[in-house]
Amino acid sequence: MLGFGGHFATKSRRYSTTHTRLRAERRTWRRTSRTDHWRRHHGDDDQDLDDTTLVVCRLTLAGIGWNSTADAQLAADAAARAREHRALAREERTTSKENP
């Protein structure tokens, strides 16, 4: 690349820099630019900039149980099928271990 072997940042010791240093300078620039942007739009008050979190929450009860007896029956049937499936799977595991 550009007449020399290796990475572009390692052309010579005079112009070389480490990627760690580049990342650190980029990180510093981003932090200062964010702070400057905030100060331009919100004023440069010398107030304490405490990190605060405002949580606004309103919980209401939406309901308990099922809306109809049909919903309750569907839930009971699904639970019964799940129990049966688990029992069959358990039985299959134990019988496959006994007869290798």
Q: pLDDT by residue (tens digit) across 16-25?
A: 567 778 888 8
pLDDT for residue 28 is more than 70: yes
Residue 78 structure tokens: 């699904």
pLDDT for residue 9 is more than 60: no
Q: pLDDT by residue (tens digit) across 29-87?
A: 888 877 777 777 776 555 555 677 777 888 888 788 888 999 999 999 999 999 999 99
CA distance 90 to 2: 67
Q: Is the pTM of this model over 0.85?
A: no
Task: Assign residue 2 a region (left: φ > 0; alpha: ψ between -120 and 50; beta: otherwise).
Answer: left
Amino acid 1 reads: M
pLDDT band at 14 (very low <50, low <70, confident <90, very high): low
